[in-house]
Structure 1
Amino acid sequence: MVIITVVLFALFLLIMLAILDFKLGRKKHLAEVEHDVFPKRKSNISLFTDGGTLFKHMYDDLREAKEHIHALFYIVREDHISKEFLSILKEKAEEGLEVRLLMDWGGSFKFKKETVQQLKGSGVEVYFCHPPKFPHLFYSINERNHRKITVIDGKIGYVGGYNVGKEYVGQDSKMGVWRDYHLKVTGEGVKDLQFQFLQDWKDDTGIDLRENNQYYPPLTPGEITHQFIPTNGAFLTETFVSLIKKAKKQIIIATPYFIPSDELIKELFNALNRGVKVSVLVPQKEDHLLLRDAGFNYFPALMQAGATIYRFYYGFYHAKVMVIDEEICDIGTANFDKRSLFLNHEINCLIYDSEFVQCVLHEIQEDMHNSEVLTPDYLKKRSFLAKGKQRVAKILSPLL
Structure 2
Amino acid sequence: MNPESLLAALPGVAIAPEAIQVLPDARAYRNCLLERIAAATRRIVIVALYLQEDEAGQEVLDALYQAKAARPALEITVVVDWFRARRGLLGAGRQPGNAAWYQAQRQLRGLEVAIHGVPVQTRELFGVLHLKGSIIDDCVLYTGASLNNVYLHRFDRYRLDRYHLFESAALADAMAGLVQRLLHPTATPRLDLPPAPAPRGLRGDIRRLRARLRRMAYEVPAAPGEPCLRVVPLLGVGRGNPLNRSLCALLAAARSQIVISTPYFNPPRVVMREIDHALDRGVRIELIVGHRTANDFYIAPGEPFSASGALPYLYEDNLRTFARRRHTAIACGQLVVRIWNDPGHTFHAKGVWVDQRYSLLTGNNLNPRGFNLDLENGLLIDDPLGQWLVPRAVELEGIRRHAPQIAAASDLGEKAEHPKDVRKFLRRLRYSRLEPLIKRVL
Shorter-chain TM-score above 0.5 = yes
Instruction: Supply the AA of the counterpart residue of 2:111.
Output: S
Alpha-carbon deviation of 1:390? 6.4
Match status 1:149 vs 2:133: yes
Name the SS of the counterpart of 2:65 in structure 1. Answer: helix
User: For 1:38 and 1:63, how far apart are their aligned partners in 2?
Assistant: 35
User: For 2:371 and 2:391, how far apart are their aligned partners in 1?
Assistant: 27
Contact 2:351 2:359 in 1 (8 A): yes
50, 61, 72: which one aligns with 2:47: 72
Moved more, 102-111 or 342-351: 102-111
Task: Number of aligned residue pairs: give it.
Answer: 343
Q: Which residue of 2 aligns with 1:287?
A: 296
CA deviation map 1:355-397 (0-9, x unaligned): 4344223222233231232323234534353784667465510
Alpha carbons of structure 1 residues 367 and 157: separation in structure 2 relative to 1, 3 Å: closer
Alpha-carbon deviation of 1:51? 1.2
232, 244, 254: which one aligns with 2:261: 254
Q: Which residue of 2 aligns with 1:180?
A: 161
Alpha carbons of structure 1 residues 395 and 364: separation in structure 2 relative to 1, 3 Å: same
Alpha carbons of structure 1 residues 396 and 141: separation in structure 2 relative to 1, 3 Å: closer
Q: Which residue of 1 aligns with 2:324?
A: 300
Q: Which residue of 1 aligns with 2:212?
A: none
Instruction: Supply the AA of the counterpart residue of 1:398.
Output: R
Contact 1:294 1:397 in 2 (8 A): no
3, 20, 30: which one aligns with 1:55: 30
Contact 1:75 1:104 in 2 (8 A): yes
Match status 1:42 vs 2:14: yes
Q: Which residue of 2 aligns with 1:192?
A: 174
Gaps of 5+ in 2: 1-8, 88-96, 190-204, 210-218, 298-307, 430-434
Q: Which residue of 2 aligns with 1:104?
A: 81
TM-score normalised according to structure 2 size: 0.71
Contact 2:317 2:415 in 1 (8 A): no
CA deviation map 1:222-246 (0-9, x unaligned): x841101111233243222100011
Alpha-carbon deviation of 1:40? 1.2
Instruction: Supply the AA of the counterpart residue of 2:132.
Output: K
Contact 1:323 1:357 in 2 (8 A): no
User: For 1:62 and 1:261, how far apart are their aligned partners in 2?
Assistant: 38
Q: Which residue of 2 aligns with 1:232?
A: 237
Name the SS of the counterpart of 2:79 in structure 1. Answer: strand
259, 277, 284: which one aligns with 1:277: 284
Identity %: 18
Moved more, 75-84 or 287-296: 287-296
Contact 1:329 1:357 in 2 (8 A): no
Q: Which residue of 1 aligns with 2:93?
A: none
CA deviation map 1:12-60 (0-9, x unaligned): xxxxxxxxxxxxxxxxxxxxxxxxx972112322122411111211211
Contact 1:106 1:141 in 2 (8 A): no
CA RMSD of aligned residues (A): 2.8
305, 330, 337: which one aligns with 1:309: 337
Alpha-carbon deviation of 1:197? 1.6
Alpha carbons of structure 1 residues 302 and 116: separation in structure 2 relative to 1, 3 Å: farther
TM-score normalised according to structure 1 size: 0.78
266, 279, 293: which one aligns with 2:273: 266
Alpha-carbon deviation of 1:310? 0.7
Alpha-carbon deviation of 1:273? 1.1
Q: 1:1-400 to 2 correspondence within 5 Å?
A: 39-43=11-15, 44-94=19-69, 95-96=71-72, 97-108=74-85, 109=87, 110-119=97-106, 121-130=110-119, 133=122, 138=123, 141-153=125-137, 155-171=138-154, 176-187=157-168, 188-202=170-184, 204-205=188-189, 224-234=229-239, 235=241, 236-284=243-291, 285-288=294-297, 289=308, 290-292=310-312, 293-297=314-318, 298-306=322-330, 307-314=335-342, 315-353=345-383, 354-374=386-406, 375-379=408-412, 381-385=414-418, 388=423, 392=429, 394-400=436-442
Contact 1:226 1:349 in 2 (8 A): yes
CA deviation map 1:60-103 (0-9, x unaligned): 11111122221111021112211111012112333312211111
Q: Which residue of 1 aligns with 2:300?
A: none
Instruction: Supply the AA of the counterpart residue of 2:337.
Output: I
Q: Which residue of 1 aligns with 2:302?
A: none
Alpha carbons of structure 1 residues 116 and 98: separation in structure 2 relative to 1, 3 Å: same
Moved more, 361-370 or 94-103: 361-370
Instruction: Supply the AA of the counterpart residue of 2:29.
Output: L
